[in-house]
Amino acid sequence: MYEILKNEVLGSNIYLFEVKAARIAAKAEAGQFVIIRLHETAERIPLTIADYSREKGTITIIFQAVGASTRELAEYEAGQKILDLVGPLGVPSEIENYGTVVCIGGGVGIAPIYPIARALKEAGNRVISIIGARSRDLLFWKEKMAAVSDELLIATDDGSEGRKGFVTDVLKDLLEKEKIERVWAIGPMVMMKAVANTTRPFAVKTIVSLNPIMVDGTGMCGACRVAVGKETKFACVDGPEFDGHEVDFDLAMKRLAIFKDEEQRILAKGQCGGGCGCH
């Protein structure tokens, strides 16, 4: 059992949990994730390690309550325990001193981009970060991001904060202005696809972190398979980071939608409390 030490609301429907997990904290690196299972009948869901403290033996996860499992997680309070937590999974980000790099976090993707930006900064890079969301109430960790960036740029779809528009608009200007060595982008699949399309003409290597459906997270089931270049990869063990110019995003998006009907059904069950006998 893994105790939740802190439950904080970061924005509309966005939550931060700090969880006691000393062994995972001891090994965690930027770019890795955990899989949690809340209780006996829950599903296994992957969440990025947004931060960790080796001293305190804790990890931080940030998530958006989008469906049944994440909404249920959101109900948990500090002091309560999660049944299963396993990690750190996936291959850590490739951190080196590249020169000038851009880190892009869209929506809840701001959380996983943070440890990467921090590690890149610590490795000596000049880090320009771009964070974006639909509107300002979905933005979080501005100060934390600013602290690990040489420059922090903000974009919102509705212009309620920073520049009105997409993160890709900001990125395009940067690419035209100066030499960028590498780009990291984490956020919704459509955003990562758009970022890859923006950097392609500039031939700037772009790393994206894919979030396919997973079950075990150890390379055993193949649910997480994604097409990268000509090959099929298992995101949980070969990724989750891949070269964005090689990823088949359209396939990845279709695969994410496979359980749409079931997601609706289980949400409906949650809303009527289940005990009604209507299903």
Ligand X SMILES: Cc1cc2nc3c(=O)[nH]c(=O)nc-3n(C[C@H](O)[C@H](O)[C@H](O)COP(=O)(O)OP(=O)(O)OC[C@H]3O[C@@H](n4cnc5c(N)ncnc54)[C@H](O)[C@@H]3O)c2cc1C
Q: Which residues bind ligand X (CB under 6 A)?
A: 33, 45-48, 62-64, 66-70, 108, 111-112, 211-214, 240, 256-257, 263
Asked if 47 is part of the footprint of ligand FES (rule: CB under 6 A), the reply reads no
- Ranked by CB distance to ligand X, the top (closest) residue is 67
Q: Strands, E, within the chain: which ranges?
A: 2-11, 14-20, 33-37, 44-48, 51-53, 58-64, 81-82, 84-89, 100-106, 126-133, 151-156, 163-164, 182-186, 205-209, 225-228, 231-234, 241-243
Torsion region of 111: left, alpha or beta (phi above 0 gives left; psi -120 to 50 gives alpha): alpha
Contact call for residues 270 and 63 (beta carbons, < 8 A): no
**If contact means CB under 5 to 8 A according to the sort of partner, which of other proteins, ligand FES, ligand X, none does residue 70 touch?**
ligand X
Task: Count the Cβ atoms, other than its own, within 10 Å of residue 178.
Answer: 10
Q: What is the amino acid identity at position 167?
A: V
Contact call for residues 180 and 220 (beta carbons, < 8 A): no
Choice between 3 and 216, CB closer to ligand FES: 216
Asked if 255 is part of the footprint of other proteins (rule: CB under 8 A), the reply reads yes
Task: Identify which range of 46-54, 102-110, 143-151, 216-224 contacts other proteins by CB under 8 A.
Answer: 216-224
Q: Does the annotation flag 103 for ligand binding?
A: no
Instruction: Write down the least CB distance from residue 161 to ligand FES, Å.
Output: 36
Asked if 33 is part of the footprint of ligand FES (rule: CB under 6 A), the reply reads no
Burial class (CB in 10 A: 0-12, 13-18, 19+), 177: exposed
Residues in the chain, total: 279
Half-sphere exposure at residue 38, Cβ-oriented, CA atoms within 13 angstroms: 16
Strand-pair partners of 102: 128, 183
Choice between 187 and 239, CB closer to ligand FES: 239
Asked if 215 is part of the footprint of ligand FES (rule: CB under 6 A), the reply reads yes
**If contact means CB under 5 to 8 A according to the sort of partner, which of ligand X, other proteins, ligand FES, none does residue 136 touch?**
none
Choice between 108 and 175, CB closer to ligand X: 108
Return residues touching other proteins (CB under 8 A): 23-24, 27, 37, 41-44, 68-69, 83-89, 215-216, 218-223, 225-227, 232, 237, 251, 254-255, 257-259, 261-263, 265-266, 269, 279
Binding site membership for [2Fe-2S] cluster: which residues?
A: 221, 224, 236
Return residues touching ligand FES (CB under 6 A): 214-217, 219-224, 234, 236
